[in-house]
Amino acid sequence: MQRRKLGRTNLEVPVVCFGAWAIGGWYWGGSDDRAAVDALRAALDAGMNAFDTAPVYGFGHSERVIGDALRGSRERVVLMTKVGLRWDDPRGPVFFESLDNHNRPVTVRRNLRPDSVRFEVEQSAKRMGVDVLDLVQIHWPDPETPLAETLGALIELRKAGRLREIGVSNFTPALLDEAQRILGSVPLACTQERYSALSRGIERDVLPWAREHHVGTLAYSPIEQGLLTGKLVPERKLADTDQRLAKAKFSAENRARLNARLEAVVGPIAKARGATIAQVVIAATVAQPGLTCALVGARNAAQVRDNAKAGELALDAAEVAAVWNGLAHFAFDGTGIVGRVLKKLGLSR
């Protein structure tokens, strides 16, 4: 497994990290804790020893499962979590409404108030059974709380030895500049952004910014929540509560069209390399300039083993370009503005 330094910090992470959202269950139509524990241990065995989670992933569940699975391995793991999305505090602007793992309604709010940040860091450490968190990231900006107050609280927690490094997520370059200014001599470890062969927006702004400032960049949803593996066949039924179902890009037609494109573009490279489609797509992603690592979600050990091998697959420049250019202009039906309006009017699937 290739490894890289995270920005200017002393943290080192594998190029393929474990994304622990799906094992929280919420959004993903539930989860199987036994399979999740196997997946987490398989990740550690494969050198995929950095785990990205958040309190909101299953409303504490993802962090608890990580704590259970990795107990006794603290020295070998890098624990990366987040602050700023609360479902258990009435303060802050509403981010979204949802149902929790027991089908009870929840309101998730943005809240980066200093007292909330301190509370969340304590709770995350407790759920994962550790004294120190390796990386704490601001999950989403909170328009009601000055960034200086939030970062001030995180700097204090760092001084107190409760966390090693500070990162952010879903930030614009302007906010990244502001964060760096406020942090002063404390390094901004990383920003975590949506990035895949089909979601390349950050190539215009965040990636060049991060390269210039030596800040790490973590790609989230790098395989488009399963779509870029080629294994999400049209016939596969997702659970009724799996929220991917509500997205037009997961329609049977879109899956079929994307799988055909993957077969044509990625298939020959995968075949030549004795690799899977997922491995080639992940390897091409982590080869992009400025990217530190991909956070790849998995629900079982087989998926983890498949994904981890991508961290050992060194594609040449022509192969990387073939994947990136071959998928560049793929567009899902029904996902543009017209598709969204039709969906609102009940005129599309």
Q: Would you say 130 or 218 has its CB closer to ligand NAP?
A: 218
x/- track of binding to ligand NAP for residues 176-215 (CB under 6 A)? ----------------x-----------------------
Report the residue from 298, 301, 323, 327 that binds ligand NAP according to the rule CB under 6 A: 298
Q: Does 21 bind ligand NAP (CB under 6 A)?
A: yes
Q: What is the CB neighbour count within 10 angstroms for residue 77? A: 20
Q: Is 308 in the site for ligand NAP (CB under 6 A)?
A: no
Q: Does 278 bind ligand NAP (CB under 6 A)?
A: yes
Within 101-120, the residues that bind ligand NAP by CB under 6 A are none
Q: How many residues bind ligand NAP (CB under 6 A)?
A: 28
Near ligand NAP by CB under 6 A: residue from 303, 308, 309, 313: 303
19 touches ligand NAP (CB under 6 A): yes
Indicate the residue among 20 and 48 with the shorter CB distance to ligand NAP: 20
Is residue 259 part of the contact set for ligand NAP (CB under 6 A)? no
Choice from 225, 251, 254, 259 touching ligand NAP (CB under 6 A): 225
Give per-residue burial for 172-182: e unless 16+ CB within 10 Å, then b. Answer: ebeebebbbeb
Counting contacts by CB under 6 A, is residue 221 touching ligand NAP? yes
Told to check if 306 binds ligand NAP by CB under 6 A, we report yes
- Minimum distance, C-beta of residue 295 to ligand NAP, in the bound complex (Å): 4
Region binding ligand NAP by CB under 6 A among candidate stretches 148-156, 200-208, 218-226, 321-329: 218-226
In Å, the largest CA–CA distance within the chain is 55
The binder of ligand NAP chosen from 222, 250, 254, 323 (CB under 6 A): 222
169 binds ligand NAP (CB under 6 A): yes
Tokens describing residue 322: 């073939």
Binding ligand NAP by CB under 6 A: which of 190, 295, 301, 320? 295
Task: Compose the 228-257 pattern: x for residues touching ligand NAP by CB under 6 A, - for all others.
Answer: -x-xx-------------------------
- What binding mask, one character per residue, do residues 74-103 give for ligand NAP by CB under 6 A, x or -? ------------------------------
Give CA angle at 40 (36, 42), nearest 5°.
110
Dihedral sign, Cα of residue 17, residue 212, residue 157, residue 57: negative
Among residues 27, 57, 195, 220, the one annotated as catalytic is 57
Should residue 297 be labelled a site residue for ligand NAP when binding is judged by CB under 6 A?
A: yes
Is residue 27 part of the annotated active site? The answer reads no
Closest Cα to residue 301, out of 120, 114, 46? Answer: 46
Shortest Å distance, C-beta 334 to ligand NAP: 20
Full 3-state SS string of the chain:
CCEEECCCCCCEEECEEEECCHHHCCCECCCCHHHHHHHHHHHHHCCCCEEECCCCCCCCHHHHHHHHHHCCCHHHCEEEEEECEECCCCCCCEEEEEECCCCCEEEEEECCCHHHHHHHHHHHHHHHCCCCEEEEEECCCCCCCCHHHHHHHHHHHHHCCCEEEEEEECCCHHHHHHHHHHHCCCCEEEEEEECECCECHHHCCHHHHHHHHCCEEEEECCCHHHHHHCCCCCCCCCCCCEHHHHCHHHCHHHHHHHHHHHHHHCHHHHHHHCCCHHHHHHHHHHCCCCCCEEEEECCCHHHHHHHHHHHHCCCCHHHHHHHHHHHHCCCCCCCCHHHHHHHHCCCCC
Binding site for ligand NAP (CB under 6 A): 19-22, 52, 139, 169-170, 192, 220-226, 229, 231-232, 278, 295-299, 303, 306-307
Q: Which active-site residues does the annotation give?
A: 57
